Amino acid sequence: MENQHVGTQSIAFARPPYVLETASAGGLLEQQGPLGKSLDIALTDEMNHEDSWEKAESQMVLSTIRRVIQKSGLDRAQIQYIFAGDLMNQLTASGFAMRELAISFFGLYGACSTMGESMQLASMAVAGGYASYAVAEASSHFCAAEKQFRQPLAYGGQKPLYASRTVMGSGSVLIGYQGKPKAKITGITTGRVIDFGIKDSNNMGASMAPAAAHTICQHLNDFQVGPEEYDRIFTGDLGEYGLQLTKELVERDGYRPGERLSDCGMIIYDRENQDVHAGGSGCGCSAVTLINYIIPGLQSGKFKKVLFIPTGALLSPLSTQQGESIPGVAHALVLEAV
Amino acid sequence: MENQHVGTQSIAFARPPYVLETASAGGLLEQQGPLGKSLDIALTDEMNHEDSWEKAESQMVLSTIRRVIQKSGLDRAQIQYIFAGDLMNQLTASGFAMRELAISFFGLYGACSTMGESMQLASMAVAGGYASYAVAEASSHFCAAEKQFRQPLAYGGQKPLYASRTVMGSGSVLIGYQGKPKAKITGITTGRVIDFGIKDSNNMGASMAPAAAHTICQHLNDFQVGPEEYDRIFTGDLGEYGLQLTKELVERDGYRPGERLSDCGMIIYDRENQDVHAGGSGCGCSAVTLINYIIPGLQSGKFKKVLFIPTGALLSPLSTQQGESIPGVAHALVLEAV
């Protein structure tokens, strides 16, 4: 039986690879949120014992990958690939961490969709017979991201309520066939870049919604199923308004996802009591929520089958200065209980 | 017969995917160089009919991918994936080009090793049964890269003679099984991130040499062959001094590559008559040299089997400002005549 390309953008794995182990890290705000207690690594502060936010993020990536390897009981040499990415210019958070790991490295940039991209490629590597084990990783750091993409934190700038909060966190997932599975990855839908012309770089939710909706509808069409096939459909970091917009776009295509359409950015924080505006965002948002909410739900029987769709906005500060609109991309994985 | 993981970092493809079609673009300096006549797209100037260097690069990426699809005679819808990357912050050159293409997109960052990374993943996708056709792409733009990584061009800053010149160019390679092959990809070796502590961000050659040497030696060890297995071993963009250093490091490991070890950065320009200091660099350097020198050599019978190893330096301007050293990475592909 061979892996099958399904429809126009999807793959159904003949032999679904497993999520064998996970590890996650989070900052103080994330620790105080609903998923805080299950984080593997709780940062003491945003400096993470380093002398810059950027080095702090890189050290967080390194710790998270080391933790997932340690929890798996595998030897580092048994892992063939790391697929990883982050939001920093030139992927320095991931790239610098790799110096310490001596594992073949594919650097990825999918903005906040990176956990989807890394898990898709790690699954393809395992199911293609290229690797016994591969690690998928993504990270973001609130302070480093604000500094790079928006304003120096010290300005104390105010944001519109439709803006989201970049998660300080990272997640590592070990994918392979041999071991006790936490979940299985039965299919993937790789996103196209979609741009509806949004130019407000505070409005990440609206920028990514068209890509999220496109990937969801394409996925349902490719696999010839309706939204009811899934207990939940989790977008990555659209926040309240982006999620609403995505729902409208999906409904315009004739699907009725209803309450099963939800967003990691609405789960990672307690929006009643934490001042995070529209919700969480950043590569770490979907990564941490996957590891501490979605996969545990698949293990506990709360969910049988979910669609996980990290979403990314492919802008740069310079592209915004040059008057460009904001393209989005979204990569989906079908995760099932075992 | 299954794809085989060989040694610690390599894959031998059971059924080697083909390079079916190629297209490349280059700027004025590249047009005046030894490979200039065979470029598919000759930019009229560095603005490429756009109003910024960054948009010019993105337009160049789009044109190159459209050209490779057009030359192949395929319909866009027959191509499942584009694997692409560039040097711009947040991959805007590639990401913005993808808006126009409606093909599933994996964004990659491997600095100047990106052509190696994109071709490895495209080959894995095709040989794994995930795609009938995949495009691998990489690009760089001298002006946009200088502005982002070094100084405003208008400063007219001088550089040390060991610095290299970022190529204005891009290359697209169509990989698949069905069609008339230009070459076949029989194996790959995916690099690890190596850092010998070089901190001079003008000295890209020295920063990348340890990674190049590591991937070359690991490749030879994984496949249990000597350098004489290959007619030529082409690193990506080490330039004169980085190439010399790589040779010394490879020799220290007991191999004698001799004159067969060469560098795309030494081939793309006429260093006697073009003022490019140590040679060419940037993602476009190995991409353009592959398409206009290496693959034609495999087609003409000049080469039977070569090793192609794009090399990348994983620094950012900020990492240098923070006193970090420069990690390198290098990804190798075995290319054979058909």
Q: Give per-residue pLDDT as tens, B104-152.
A: 999 999 999 999 999 999 999 999 999 999 999 999 999 999 999 998 8
Measured between beta carbons, the chain B residues lying within 8 angstroms of A91 are: 109, 314
What is the reported pLDDT for B191?
Answer: 98
Write down the mean pLDDT value for chain B.
97
- Chain B residue numbers touching A81 (CB-CB < 8 A): 190
Taking 50 as the pLDDT cut, the residues of chain A under it are none
C-alpha distances out from residue B36 to A58, B67, B141, B168, B298, Å:
41, 17, 16, 12, 19
- Residue B212 C-alpha, separation from nearest chain A C-alpha, in angstroms: 13
pLDDT for res A5:
85
pLDDT at residue B163, as a whole number: 93
Give the closest-approach CA distance of A17 to chain B in angstroms: 14
Give contacts of A315 with chain B, Cβ < 8 Å.
90, 92
Locate the chain A residue with the closest alpha carbon to B147: A318
Average pLDDT over residues B82-107: 98
pLDDT given at position A151: 87
Q: Which residue has the tokens 């505070």?
A: A202
Select from A105, A106, A192 the Cβ nearest to the Cβ of B103.
Answer: A192
From chain A, the residues in CB contact with B193 under 8 A are 95, 98-99, 101, 105
Residue B77 confidence (pLDDT):
96
pTM reported for the whole predicted model: 0.98
- CA A109, CA B248: separation in Å to the nearest integer? 34
According to the model, what pLDDT value does residue A3 have?
73
pLDDT band at B98, cuts 50/70/90?
A: very high
Contact B155, B104 (CB under 8 A): no
The stretch B11-19 carries a mean pLDDT of 97
- Residue among B83, B105, B204 with most chain A CBs within 10 A, to mutate: B105
pLDDT the model gives residue B5: 84
Rounded to 5°, the CA angle A119-A123-A124 comes to 120
Asked if residue B39 has pLDDT above 90, the reply is yes
Distance from the A136 Cα atom to the nearest Cα atom in chain B, whole angstroms = 14
Confidence class of residue B318 from pLDDT cuts 50, 70 and 90?
Answer: very high
Mean pLDDT, to the nearest integer, of B28-44? 98
Q: How far apart are CA B332 and CA B312, in angstroms?
A: 12
B2 confidence band (pLDDT: 50, 70, 90): confident
List CB contacts of A300: < 8 A, sequence separation 6 or more.
none
Q: Which residues from chain A sit within 8 angstroms of residue B89, using beta carbons?
A: 89-90, 316-318
Decide which of A258 and B2 is more confident: A258
Contact (CB<8Å) A89/B89: yes
- Over 60: is that where the pLDDT of B287 sits? yes
Across the A:B interface, residue pairs with CB atoms under 8 Å apart total 188
Which pLDDT does position B192 carry in this prediction? 98
pLDDT value, residue A28:
98
Is the predicted ipTM greater than 0.90, yes or no?
yes
Residues of B within 8 A of A106 (CB-CB) are: 108, 110, 117, 120-121, 190
pLDDT score at A156: 87
Q: How many contiguous H segments (helices) and E segments (strands) does chain B have?
A: 10, 17
Ordered structural domains, chain A, with CATH: 17-176 (3.40.47.40), 184-336 (3.40.47.40)
pLDDT digits (tens, 9 = 90+) for B241-263: 999 999 999 999 999 999 999 99
Beta strands in chain A (DSSP E): 4-6, 10-12, 18-26, 41-42, 81-85, 104-107, 133-140, 165-166, 169-176, 183-189, 232-235, 261-263, 280-281, 305-309, 311-313, 328-330, 332-336
